[in-house]
Structure formats: C-alpha cells, structure tokens
Amino acid sequence: MTSATASARKILTELHELMASRANAQAKLNQMVEIIGAALNSEVCSLYLLREQALELFATRGLNQSAVHVTKLALGEGLTGHIAQQVDTLNLAEAAAHPDFQYRPETGEERFHSFAGVPIIRRERAVGVICVQHVEQRRYDDVEIEALQTVAMVISELISNAELIDQEAVADLSSSSTGPARLSGLTLVKGLAFGRAVFHQPRITIEHVVADDIEVERQRVYSAFTKMREQIDDMASQAEFGVDGEHQEILKTYKMFAYDEGWSRRINAAIDSGLTAEAAIERVQQRTRMRMREIDDPLLAERMHDLEDLANRLLRIVSGQLGTAAKLGLRTDTILIARNLGPAELLEYDRRRLKGVILEEGSLTAHVTIVARAMGIPVIGRVSSIRHMVREDDEILLDSDERIVHVRPTEATLTAFESKFNQRKKRQASFAALRDEPAITKDGVPICLMVNAGLRDEVSAVNHSGAEGIGLFRTEFQFLVSATLPRRERQMRLYRDVMDAAGDKPVVFRTVDIGGDKSLPYLRKDTDQEENPAMGWRALRVALDRDGLMKVQARALLEAAAGRTLNVMFPMVAEPWEFDEAKAIFERQCQFLTDHKKMLPEKIRYGAMLEVPALAETLDILIPKISFLSIGTNDLTQFLLAADRAHPKLAERYDWLSPAILRFLARIVRNVDGSSIDLTVCGEMGGRRLSALALIGLGINRLSITPAALGPVKAMIRSINLADTKAQMSTLLSMPPEDLRGALRSWARAEGVEID
C-alpha cells in the first residue's frame, strides 16, 4: 500500500470513529474539519453546506470561528460558489488570481494564498464544498486532492443519513438546484415538449462510500471489469450492423479505456484506501474529469465523454443496475436524454410516457430519428453538453421548432412557452381542417400525398389524416421491436391488419431493410466487421443471400393480401437483376400457395426503391419490369454526397437543396417520363415544405411523407402555381446560385407560398 493510500485510509478510519461518537452534529463537524486539516497538514479546512440556496460556512479550522453560520455565498459566488455551481474541483496556487475569487473580511482569510476545494455531491448536485487553504503559494498534489474527494463522498453519505445535519436540512439540500440554462441543438423532429429529464442509461447514486471488507470490494470491481470488457468486445464484434448508432471510433476508444491498466490500478488504489467499489470508481472519475478540464482540447473533451460512458457502465455493472430507463418504471412526462440511440432502443420506450428526446449526437435521417418521427416524439440532436448540464429529474422545456432546450426553466420562460404551445395547437388545428381538402395546386394539378409508416398504431393515421395511402410501410420496424425474429404468422397478422386499417387505400410494403443503423441483435451476420455498414451487407443484399428471410416475408405478405392488391417494394436495388431475383422469390411462393390451393392476391404490383445512384443509370432496363419506383432520398443523398446519413458531424454539412442532388432527381424524372410507372419520393426530404416545393417543381407529383407533415405540405401545395414553380426550378438549376435554398425560399415568400 502506498503512503498516499495509507493516509487516505487513516482519514476514513478517524472519520468513522468520529461518527460513532456521541457528540452533537456541530461538534462532529468541528472535529471533522480538524481531522482533515491535520491529516492534510493544512492551515485551513472549511466546510460549506447549501442552505436556503446559499453556501453557508458550517465549520472551519483556521478561519475566524465567528464567521461560522455567518459567511454565506450564492451559487457561483466566489471560489466556493464556483465549485458548487460547476460541480468541479479547484486546485489553485494563488486563489486571488482566479477570476471568481472574492475576499470575505469576516473570515480572516487574507493570509492564505493557496486554495483547493471539492464539491460534496448528492444526486449529481453539489450540496456543499470542502476546502483547504495554505499560507504559502503551492498547488496541492494528487494525493491531497484525492483525500479531499474521498472525504467529500463520506460527508455526502453522512448528510444523506442525517448524521451531520438534521432531517429538515437534508430535505432542503435535496431540493436545491442550479440555475436555468438554455442550450441549442439541431431540430431532428419538430415539436414542443415539457417534462423531466430521464437518462437513457441511468446514473448510479452511490449509497455507501466506506468499505466493510476491502477484499470483497476488490473482487467486485475485478468481476465488473471482466464483464465490461466482455460487453465491449461483444459490441465490437456486432459492429457489422452499426451497433445501435454507436460509431466505430467510439468503440475503439471504449476498448482502449476498458483495457487501460492505469485506470483499473487507480480504482484498486482507491479501494485500498477504504472505499467501496462504487465510490472508488466515482472518485477516480472525478479526478480524471478535473484533469481533462484543465487541458483545453476539444478532442480530449470528446474522449472524456467516452470515458464517462464507460465509467457509468462500470458503475452500473458493479451495482447490478443494468437496465436502461425503458425498463425501470418510466415517469409519465419523460424527456429522454442520451448520447445516441439505436431505433430498437427507442422503440423499447412506452410512447405515451415519452414526451421528447434530446441527443448529444443524432442526425436528420438516422433511423432513430425516423422512428421518433413515426412515434410523434419531438427530438433535438447535437446538444453536446446535455448530459453534463442536466441532472435526472430536472425540468426541461424542449422547443425543437426553435432548436432550443431550456433546462430548469424560469416562470417567465414557462409562461412564454405555454402561449407558444397554444399557438402551435391552433396551427395544427388549421392543418387538420385541410384533412378533407384536396392536395391540389392553384393551377389545378393534384399532388398525391401518402404517408410513411411502420408501427402498428401509426396505421390509423392514414384514415385520420386524409392521406391517399401508405406510400412506404417499413416492415423492418416489426423486426426491430421484436426480441426474436418475428415468425411468419406474426408478420402476416401485422400486414393484414395494416391493409384492413387502410381499407381501399393502397399500402406499399417494403421488404425488410436491415443493416446500416438498423441492427438486430438476434440476427448476427456471418461476415467480418464492416467498415461501412450503410454501404455494406444490408437490405435486399441480406434478403437475397439469406433467402429464407425473404421467403417467409413473401409468404406472409402474399397470404395477408389474399384477394386484394399487394404492392411490394424492394429496398436498395442497385442493379435491375437484383429486382428480378427478388421478384422470383415472390413468384415461387405464389406457385407454392397455388399448389396448396391457397388464395392469392388479386393483383401484385412490384416496385423498387431508387436509393442507390447506380440504378438511375439503368432505368431503361428496370422500368419495363416494374409498376412503380420510389426515390429514397435519405440513402440516395448519402450516397451521392458520400456523407454518412447518421454521422453527427455531417448532420449539418450538406443540403438536400443542392444543385447536384436536384439535377440528379430531375434526370430521374425525365427518364421516367412517358412510361406508365408511378414515381414517388418517400425520403424525409418530401416532408419538409421547402424541399417538397423543390421536388414538385422538378415534376414529382407523388410524395410519401411522415404523417405530421401532411397538413403543412398540403397547405403549401394549395398555395402554389405549379407552372411557375416548375419554371423557377428550371431557372435555378440551369444557373444554380451558391445558396439555392435561400434563393428558392426568397422566391417562395415573394410568391406567397406557405413555407413558414
């Protein structure tokens, strides 16, 4: 055992003995600062606790005793207030040099130059500060800071057990909060929501700090490390499906930290000093946090997020609290906070309880966003500091329309929000009033508006919203919500229910598009790890290689559509013969059903998605084979721009309304023109008013969009003159301005088109 560990252990033992004594609370506090001050050889040791929203000096060794219960600092005021507000440690050779330094004459602290203080944390908030001061100018060394951090943890435990202060004061501490904050991000799914923060991966509250048996704690941490390393290795080996939105780079960092001997050694040393496994992990983490903050490097800050994730994972394993918030009795006004989520993870949540989602990463066309859109849940992404700024249960106002998150909002913000909420309701009511009106341009051209769906309960939207059908039914959503591969009967029931609900309106079933960012834990791929899962073995490629999957789905679809029209569409067709192969699987199943005297659909319409650019070059071969073509702009644009649709750093770099994308789409329209097939756009682009305007101006007259966009897009269509729009698009594409979006927007506004 090192001398540092021994001295930390000595403090813990003395504090333990003190707590067992019969002294009253104030006497205990007085002795406590003496013990710590003496152990750290420090002239001053002071303890501040939060009372009535102020940090009050509760005990001190070295400062004037008359200042006890007199000196009070607001959160953020002075060095002590700074520590409590930031929930962070300070270690300063010259206290007066810090911008937040404030001199309090009643304490007599003018003689002391060096200063170190650590927050006393309870439920992620600082409820007090313990600090030491020296006459001489010197920075405290690691051992001293660690000892202070350990003491702070013990004090926190003692406070929560009401051993140091009375019950009333404990309640006061628990309700304390830091001030309001306003964070901005990227709108992923529009909407407003109010609720309380729930972490997708709940933070662990450390209940016991001092170990009863060090060997037991060492063993607990050892097995937690083994388990965590297994989990990380497992995630890396599943990376072929995109690992629920986590990126390769993060995984690499996870792996590096998980196997870092230095990290486990430091945790072990903390256990040697007498801490429980949980407290040891947290103490080491506090120390690392402080170090990383001292180094002003954005790359390191990002790595720090990774390490925080991993430390939290280790804490959850060691304390046996493994489930995500979805499994832990969700509150009814949940605003979910996560670094990122996979679509399957989001689908685990009860949508009635989930009011909004805030992600540190996220992008517009990632499938988690598409699923959230389908669930009608507002999402803001790219809020990089959210997990640091927010604590579990904090009130949150999410205004995705304005890209803003209000954390712990003031009364004034809440009132302003309420009126916005009402305005929004009015707007929605005006869109809903358009339900039975036709989507027709001012010069009399009808545009066919359909909806995208994939979840069972979305289907009712077809009838309620006035859509002309379901232009894209993402069948893989059922696979994503299932714990195991859905059997044929289950698939069949869903497809039949969907067709029943749609009545006379058509439903386009897309065969499973698994892979990319849609990972199925129960369907491991037999390839090595993929570098580029979105361009890898996914969608039709999986279905053609593992034709068992496709056969089952074909049977389910054919049986569900017995006696009716079946519209079936294949995703990620890159070459016309892939379409032939997929169709042949369906035809063989038709033959099987005929042989078994089962009823077939009255009519089968086969179609393809155009989302791999190469297919656009062979449309002359494909068109005679198909009844309809649907442009998947989410994938198509990612491939045209070579920009991963789920990559958070690229989320704002490229615009759909770029000349390259629009010219490409215009060419597809020209190539399809004159044929008898239907051409639809079913990517997210069609659900945004300005880009929908551009698409219509290119000659696309069928859109399949998210149900919430139906009203706004219909209102836009009813405000345009198609001939003028086409002429404007043709002008913009022949001599594209640098800011095509801006130019189109200005034109639309001048023409009175409803785009805002």
Residues found near ligand PEP in the complex (CB under 6 A): 370, 472, 474, 513, 611, 632-635, 682-683
Q: Which residue is nearest to Mg ion (CB)?
A: 635
Q: Determine what percent of the chain falls in helix, strand and coil, rounding each to the nearest 5.
A: 50, 15, 35
Nearest Cα to Cα of residue 598 among 547, 561, 566: 561
CB of 278 vs Mg ion, minimal distance in Å: 44
CB of 518 vs ligand PEP, minimal distance in Å: 8
Phi, psi of 430 (to 5 degrees): -70, -35
Give dist(CA 586, CA 590) in Å, integer: 6
Which CB, 283 or 373, lies closer to ligand PEP?
373
Which CB, 160 or 634, lies closer to ligand PEP?
634
Which CB, 29 or 370, lies closer to Mg ion?
370
Identify what 474 binds: ligand PEP, Mg ion, none; CB under 5 to 8 Å per kind.
ligand PEP
Give dist(CA 438, CA 714) in Å, integer: 8
Identify what 342 binds: Mg ion, ligand PEP, none; CB under 5 to 8 Å per kind.
none
CB of 456 vs ligand PEP, minimal distance in Å: 17
Which CB, 395 or 611, lies closer to Mg ion?
611
DSSP structure class, residue 275 = B
Which residue type does 749 have? R
DSSP structure class, residue 179 = -
Which CB, 134 or 474, lies closer to ligand PEP?
474
Residue 242 binds to Mg ion (criterion: CB under 5 A): no
Identify what 633 binds: Mg ion, ligand PEP, none; CB under 5 to 8 Å per kind.
ligand PEP
Which CB, 104 or 367, lies closer to Mg ion?
367
Q: What angle do CA 468, 469, 471 make, to 5 degrees?
A: 120
Give dist(CA 407, CA 333) in Å, integer: 15
Three-state DSSP class for residue 448: strand
- Name the β-bridge partners of 44: 133
Binding mask 694-733 for Mg ion (x = CB under 5 A): ----------------------------------------
Which CB, 569 or 694, lies closer to Mg ion?
569
Nearest Cα to Cα of residue 623 among 665, 545, 692, 675: 675
Three-state DSSP class for residue 44: strand
CB of 374 vs ligand PEP, minimal distance in Å: 11
Token duo for residue 370: 């598409």
- Name the β-bridge partners of 570: 608
Which CB, 334 or 634, lies closer to Mg ion?
634
CB 91 within 8 A of CB 100: no
Which CB, 361 or 635, lies closer to ligand PEP?
635
CB 434 within 8 A of CB 718: yes
Token duo for residue 185: 């991000």
Residue with tokens 């309090």: 104
> How many CB atoms are located within 10 Å of the residue 731 CB?
13
Which CB, 199 or 656, lies closer to ligand PEP?
656
Identify what 46 binds: Mg ion, ligand PEP, none; CB under 5 to 8 Å per kind.
none
Token duo for residue 755: 């785009």
Which CB, 275 or 573, lies closer to ligand PEP?
573
Residue 684 binds to Mg ion (criterion: CB under 5 A): no
Task: Give the neighbor-by-neighbor strand order of the sheet with 379-381.
Answer: 181-184, 404-407, 395-399, 192-199, 334-338, 354-359, 379-381, 186-189
Binding mask 594-633 for Mg ion (x = CB under 5 A): -----------------x--------------------x-
Nearest Cα to Cα of residue 376 among 399, 397, 355, 400: 355
Identify what 370 binds: Mg ion, ligand PEP, none; CB under 5 to 8 Å per kind.
ligand PEP
CB 655 within 8 A of CB 704: no
CB of 474 vs ligand PEP, minimal distance in Å: 5
Identify what 345 binds: ligand PEP, Mg ion, none; CB under 5 to 8 Å per kind.
none
> How many CB atoms are located within 10 Å of the residue 324 CB?
18
Q: Which residue is nearest to ligand PEP (CB)?
A: 632
Which CB, 117 or 686, lies closer to ligand PEP?
686
Q: How many helices, marked H, and strands, marked E, lie in the chain? A: 27, 22
CB of 603 vs ligand PEP, minimal distance in Å: 24
Token duo for residue 473: 């039914």
Nearest Cα to Cα of residue 115 among 147, 141, 140, 88: 140
Identify what 356 binds: ligand PEP, Mg ion, none; CB under 5 to 8 Å per kind.
none
Q: Which of 109, 468, 476, 635 binds Mg ion (CB under 5 A)?
A: 635
Token duo for residue 289: 């946090």
Torsion region of 244: left, alpha or beta (phi above 0 gives left; psi -120 to 50 gives alpha): left
CB of 698 vs ligand PEP, minimal distance in Å: 16
Identify what 683 binds: ligand PEP, Mg ion, none; CB under 5 to 8 Å per kind.
ligand PEP
Identify what 682 binds: Mg ion, ligand PEP, none; CB under 5 to 8 Å per kind.
ligand PEP
CB of 117 vs Mg ion, minimal distance in Å: 53
CB of 679 vs ligand PEP, minimal distance in Å: 14
Sign of CA dihedral 74, 78, 82, 84: negative
CB of 638 vs Mg ion, minimal distance in Å: 9
CB of 681 vs Mg ion, minimal distance in Å: 12
Determine the size of the site formed for Mg ion (CB under 5 A). 3
Torsion region of 337: left, alpha or beta (phi above 0 gives left; psi -120 to 50 gives alpha): beta
Identify what 573 binds: Mg ion, ligand PEP, none; CB under 5 to 8 Å per kind.
none
CB of 539 vs ligand PEP, minimal distance in Å: 8
CB of 640 vs Mg ion, minimal distance in Å: 13
Which CB, 106 or 655, lies closer to ligand PEP?
655
Contact positions toward Mg ion, by CB under 5 A?
611, 632, 635
